[in-house]
Amino acid sequence: MTELWRLGLGQAAQGLAKRQFTATDLVSASLERIRLSEPRLGACLAVLGQEALDRARDLDREGHDPSRPLWGLPVSVKDVFCLKGAPTTAGSRILEDYRPSFEATVVRRLRAAGAVIVAKTNCDEFAMGSSTEFSAFGPTRNPWDPGRVPGGSSGGAAASVAGFQVPAGLGTDTGGSIRQPAALCGCLGLKPTYGRVSRYGIVAYGSSFDQAGPLARRVDDLGLVLAAIAGPDGLDSTASGRPVGDYANVAEARPGELTLGLPDELWAADFDPLVLGVLERARRELAGAGVRFKAVPMPNLRFSVATYYILAAAEASTNLARYDGVRYGHRSGGDPGLLALYRDSRTEGLGQEVRRRIMLGTFVLSSGYYEAYFRKAAQVRRLIQEDYRKALEGCDFLLAPVSSIPAWPFGSFTDDPLTAYQLDMMTLPLNLVGAPGLSMPAGLGGGLPVGLQLMGRAFDEAGLLSAAKALERILPPLGDPPGL
Amino acid sequence: MTEMEPVIGLEIHAQLKTRTKLFCTCPIDPGAEPNTLICEICSGQPGALPRMNGKALELAAKAGLAMGCRVNERSLFSRKNYFYPDLPNGFQTSQIDPPICEGGSLDIQGPDGPRTIRLNRIHLEDDAGKCVHDPRRGRTLVDLNRAGTPLIEIVTEPDLGSSAEAMEFLRKLHALLVRLEVTEGRMEEGEFRCDVNISLRPRGETRLGVRGEIKNLNSFRYVGQAIEYEIKRQAGLYAAGRPVLQETLHFDPDRHETRTLRSKEEAHDYRYFPQPDLPPVMVAPGLLEELRASLPAPAEETAARLRGQGLRDEAIALLMDRKGAVEYFDRAAAIYDGPGRIGALMAELLLPACQRDGVPVQSSALGPGGLARLAELLDQGVLGRRAAQELFGELFETGADPGELARERGLLQISDRGALSELAAEVVASHPGEVGKYLGGQEKILGFLVGQVMRRSRGAADPKGAGEALVAAMAGLGRQGGDGDGN
C-alpha cells in the first residue's frame, strides 16, 4: 500500500472500485501527506482530519457505491466555500471565527458524489490577489521553490494539488484565480463558463465574474469533478439551466483536426525569456503533432486590466459591505458609536489589498464617476466579448499564455499593486467574457512550471476537455517538484 | 407678495401581501419573536444569494395594471448601497431603471373637483430590518424578521396641490390596493407608509421650487398635518426672503412640526448599480393577460353599475368601502332580483353587524343566499321591517333560513287576501259598536279594528292588508245599512 497519495482522482476511483484499498486508506494517506508537507507548503487553513476520517469510515461501512463517481476520494476546497459548522474565513481576519450555518451548493454536490473534504485551502483575502500573500493567515509556498509564491488567489488549492496532498481541489476564478496558480504550481485548473457552476455559498468577490472550478493533475480528473458540481441550482438565479455535458467521459481530440487561435495581444506581452522559451517550444511540439495555429486580433484586450479592476472592484465594494461587525465576524471593541464600530471593525478586520479594492470600487460607483468609470467599463466589457466571439469564428479554441513571468519571490509586488494587476492581463479576458478556460503545464523554465491556457466557447467545457486531452499527450509531463 | 401654490408629490411604500420574503422563503409575521424568521439570505451571510419571489412580481404588476401603468416585460434590480445596522447586506435591493411599472394614473375627487394624479413609476424593493433602541441599557438591538419583506414603492408626479388632495389620493390608493389584495395595508404595522415631497412656487409659475422631503409618515392624518406645517414653514421663509433648502425632514406628530434629518450636502450617495446576483425580471405576456383578467372593475364603473341597479349613494359608498361587499352583493342579487332591497339590507344591517363583530363580509354566517331570501320575504310583504330587524341578529349569528326562522317565531305576516278578509269579517262581526262609529265618520277607529285583526292573527297579519280588508268588509255593511235606513 505504498504512495496512495500519488494517485490521480480517476486512478484512485478505479482502485476503490476494485477494492484494492479502502476510502479510509486513501483519506488517511492524504491526511498523512498533508501532515508531512504542510510545514513546507502552508497550503491549508484548516485540516478536517477527524471529520474526514469519520466520513471515510462511514463510506467504507456502507460499501462502495458505483453510482457516486467521487466515492471515497479526498479533495480540498478553497476557504471561500461555506461548509456548515466548519471555519470559513476567505483568508480574512474579519471572518476568523465565522462558522456558516449552511453549505455551498458545490460542497453539497461533492459530498453527494461521495467525495471526502479533507482540508480548506489558503487564498488571498476574499480571493483578491495573485500570490496568496494577501491571506491574513500567512503565505502558501510554491511546491517547486519554497521561496516563491504559488500564485493566487487559489494558491493553497494549487499547492495542495501540485504538492500531492490531494488528487483534486476546488478553487474559484474571478480574474484568473484558478488558472494562474495552477500554471505557477504546475497542475491543471479549469474555469467553467459563468453560470455553469452554482455560486451559492461561495463567499462573493466579483459576482458577475466568480466561478468555481477544479484543480487537478490530469485533464480527466478535472472532468470528473466538473461533472459532479456543474448544473442548474434553484439557489443561484445566475446558474444556467443548460444541460450538463458528459464531462467525465470525453473523447480525446485529434491534434490534426485542431485549429487554435493565438490572440495577438496576449502573445505580444513582455515575457520573461525563460517563460517565452517554454511557450515557443510547446508551440513547436503542438505544431509538430499537427495542430494548426492562427493569429487572431483582439484589439480591445488592451483594456482588460482597467475594465476588470473597475467592474470587479465595484462589485466587491458592495459585496463586502456586509462585513460590518454587526451580525457576525470581527467586531472592534474600541470607540463607542456606530461610525466607530463600522470604521474600526472594517479597518482591523480587512487587509490592505481588500480595503484598496473597496475604495476603488466605491469610487467608480460614486455619483459623478459612475458614467466615466463603471458604465464605460461595462461597455468595454461588451466590446471584449465581441472580440472574443469574432476571434473564435475561424478556429476551435484560443491558446494563450497564463502568466508572462514564472512564480515570483515573496514580496516582489506587494508594494506595487499596479504591476501586480498588470500581471493578470492573460487571465482576465476570459472572466470578462464569461467563457470557459483551462490552464495546463507547458513545461519547466529555469526549474519553474510554465502554463498554457486553452479557451473555448460558452458551455463547451466538454470540447475544451477533449482538446486539452490531446495537448496533455503532446506536451511533456513536468515530473515531481523537487524535495517531494 | 405673490401668492404661492404648493406642489406635492408622494412616494408610497406598500408591503406586498406575500406569504414569504422577496428573496428567500422565510415567512412574514410582524408578531414573531425577534430574529426567528431569518435565514442566511435575509441575514446577509457570506455566499448567500437572493432568488426572486414570483408572487411579489405578480402583485406589483397587478397594482400597475389597475392604475393604467405600462408593465415592463423586462425590469432590473439594482443595489442601493448604504450602511445601517438593520440593513444586513449593506445594500437594499431595489429597482432603478427600468422599474416594473411606469406611467399610469389615479383619479380622485378633490375638494376643488375631480383630478387625475399621474404616476411616475412603481418599483419593487426589499424592506430593512428594525433597530430596537434600549436607552435604559444604552444598547441598540437589531431584529431582522422584517428584512427582505417585499415592498412596492409608488411614485407620483408632483400633481397634488393641497394636503386635502394628498390625503384623498392616499385614501383612494390604499382602498384600491387593499381591494386588489396587493397589500394588507395595516398602517399601524407600517405596511402602508408615505414620503412627501413638497415645494412652493408663485401661482402661474411652471418651474418647481426647492423641495423638502418628509420621510416615513404612517397615517393619513400625519400626512395632512405634515403638509400643512411644511407649507406654512416654506411660505414663511419665502415671505422673509430667506432661502428654502433642499432637505430631508422628519415629522414629529406630537409637536406637529417637521425637523431636518439631513441637508442636501449630507444626502447619501447610494452608488446604485445593477444587482449582479439577479437576472432581469421578466413578465411573460401570458401572465399579464391573466392578471388583467383577474382585476376587479374600476371603482367608478362599479359605482355606476350599482347606481343603475337602484342602490342609493350611501349604500354604494358603504359597499365599495368594505372588502368583499360588492362581490357578496352580486352573488345575492343573482339569486334574488331585488338589488335595491339587498343593497339596503347590507348597508343597514349586514355591514354594521360585520363591522361590530370584526367579521369579513364574505365569511359572515348569513351568506348571499340567506340575505337574498330575506329581501324576497320583505318585498313579498310576508315579513315586516320591524320583524326583519328583530330576526337579523340571530340570522347573522347562525345563518338560519330567514323564512323558517320567521315562521318559528310566528313573525310571518298574513298577507293572503282571503285569510285577511276572513279575519276582518270576524272582527267586524264582533265589534258592531266600533264599526258603527267608523261608518258614522269616526275613521280613526280603524286603527283599533286593525289592532284587533293583528291580535286574532297573533301579530302575523300584514297591518296594511288588514286595514284594506276591514275597509272592504265595512264598505259592504255601509251599503247594507244605507239600504236599511232607506227602508
pLDDT of B483 > 70? The answer is: no
CA distance B478 to B333: 47
What digits encode the pLDDT tens for the residues B69-118?
A: 999 999 999 999 999 999 999 999 999 999 999 999 999 988 888 899 99
**Contacts with A342 from chain B: Cβ below 8 Å:** 83
Identify the residue whose cell numbers are 411644511.
Answer: B230
CA distance A24 to A4: 11
Active site (catalytic) residues of A: 78, 153, 177
CA torsion through residues A386, A391, A397, A401, sign: negative
Look at the domain B417-486 and name its fold. Arc Repressor Mutant, subunit A (1.10.10)
Mean pLDDT of B453-469: 80
pLDDT of A379 > 60? The answer is: yes
A147's grid cell = 521561496
Amino acid of residue B442: Q
Strand A168-172 with A74-78, pairing: parallel
- pLDDT of B480 reads 54
- pLDDT of B168 reads 93
What digits encode the pLDDT tens for the residues A197-239?
A: 999 999 999 999 999 999 999 999 999 999 999 999 999 999 9
- pLDDT of B486 reads 35
**Contacts with B269 from chain A: Cβ below 8 Å:** 366-367
Mean pLDDT of B12-27: 98
Q: How far is A235 from chain B (nearest CA, A)?
A: 7
Report the percent of chain B where pLDDT is more than 90.
59
For chain A, the first-to-last Cα distance in angstroms comes to 18
Q: Are A44 and A119 in contact (CB under 8 A)?
A: yes
DSSP A361-417: HHHHHSTTTIIIIIIHHHHHHHHHHHHHHHHGGGSSEEEEES-SS---BTTSSTT-H
Domain boundaries, given as residue ranges, for chain A: 4-256+436-474
Instruction: Give the count of beta carbons closer than 10 Å to the beta carbon of residue B46.
Output: 26
Diameter over CA atoms, chain B: 116
CA distance A12 to A30: 12
Q: For residue A193, what is the DSSP state?
A: P
Contact: B273, A314; criterion CB under 8 Å? yes
DSSP A152-170: SSSHHHHHHHHTTS-SEEE
Nearest Cβ partner for B49 among A81, A199, A323: A199
* Closest Cα in chain A to B85: A326
B100's grid cell = 416594473
Instruction: Give the count of beta carbons closer than 10 Å to the beta carbon of residue A298.
Output: 22
CA distance A163 to A143: 6
Domain boundaries, given as residue ranges, for chain B: 4-287, 297-408, 417-486
Mean pLDDT of A98-126: 98
Mean pLDDT of B194-220: 93
What digits encode the pLDDT tens for the residues B33-53?
A: 999 999 999 999 999 999 999
- pLDDT of B457 reads 77
- Residues forming beta bridges with residue B79, ordered by sequence position: B93, B273
CATH superfamily, region A4-256+436-474: Amidase signature (AS) domain (3.90.1300.10)
Q: pTM of the prediction?
A: 0.83
- pLDDT of B429 reads 87
Mean pLDDT of B312-327: 87
Q: Within 13 Å and on the Cβ side, how many CA atoms surround A254? A: 2
Confidence label for B1 from pLDDT (cuts 50, 70 and 90): low
The helix or strand, by DSSP H or E, that contains position B78, with its residue range, turns out to be: strand B78-81
CA distances from B126 to A230, A322, B13, B35 (A): 30, 16, 10, 17
Q: Which of residues 115-134 of B touch A (CB under 8 A)?
A: none
Contact: A234, B51; criterion CB under 8 Å? yes
Q: How far is A35 from chain B (nearest CA, A)?
A: 29
B465's grid cell = 292588508
Q: Are A51 and A107 in contact (CB under 8 A)?
A: no
Confidence label for B147 from pLDDT (cuts 50, 70 and 90): very high
Asked if B265 is an interface residue toward chain A (Cβ–Cβ < 8 A), one would say no
What digits encode the pLDDT tens for the residues B401-439?
A: 898 888 788 777 777 777 888 888 888 888 888 888 888
* Closest Cα in chain A to B131: A326
Backbone angles phi, psi at A389, to 5 degrees: -60, -45
The helix or strand, by DSSP H or E, that contains position A350, with its residue range, turns out to be: none
CA distances from B443 to B426, B437, B440, B451 (A): 19, 8, 8, 14
Q: Are A86 and A322 in contact (CB under 8 A)?
A: no
The helix or strand, by DSSP H or E, that contains position B426, with its residue range, turns out to be: helix B417-430
CA distance B260 to A29: 68
Contact: B49, A88; criterion CB under 8 Å? no
Q: Which of residues 162-201 of B touch A (CB under 8 A)?
A: none
- Residues forming beta bridges with residue B113, ordered by sequence position: B110
- pLDDT of B179 reads 86
Amino acid of residue A332: S
- pLDDT of B296 reads 80
- Residues forming beta bridges with residue B155, ordered by sequence position: B11, B121
* Closest Cα in chain A to B25: A235
Burial of A237 from C-beta contacts in 10 A (0-12 / 13-18 / 19+):
middle
Secondary structure (H, E, C), A293-320: EEEECCHHHHHHHHHHHHHHHHHHHHHH
Q: Are B19 and A170 in contact (CB under 8 A)?
A: no
Asked if A311 is an interface residue toward chain B (Cβ–Cβ < 8 A), one would say no
Asked if B278 is an interface residue toward chain A (Cβ–Cβ < 8 A), one would say yes
Mean pLDDT of A411-420: 94
CA distance A450 to A79: 25
A334's grid cell = 474600541
Q: Which of B273, B281, B282 to mutate to test the interface with A (most CBs of A within 10 A)?
A: B273
Burial of B201 from C-beta contacts in 10 A (0-12 / 13-18 / 19+):
middle
CA distance A219 to A252: 10
Average pLDDT, chain B: 90
**Contacts with A327 from chain B: Cβ below 8 Å:** 43-44, 88, 142, 144
* ipTM given for this complex: 0.96
What digits encode the pLDDT tens for the residues A258-306?
A: 999 999 999 999 999 999 999 999 999 999 999 999 999 999 999 999 9
Nearest Cβ partner for B47 among A200, A367, A374: A200
- B54-B55-B59-B61 Cα dihedral, nearest 10 degrees: 20
Separation of CA B191 from chain center? 15
pLDDT of A340 > 80? The answer is: yes
Residues 6+ apart with CB under 8 A from B406: B377, B382, B383, B387, B391, B412
CA distance A56 to A24: 5
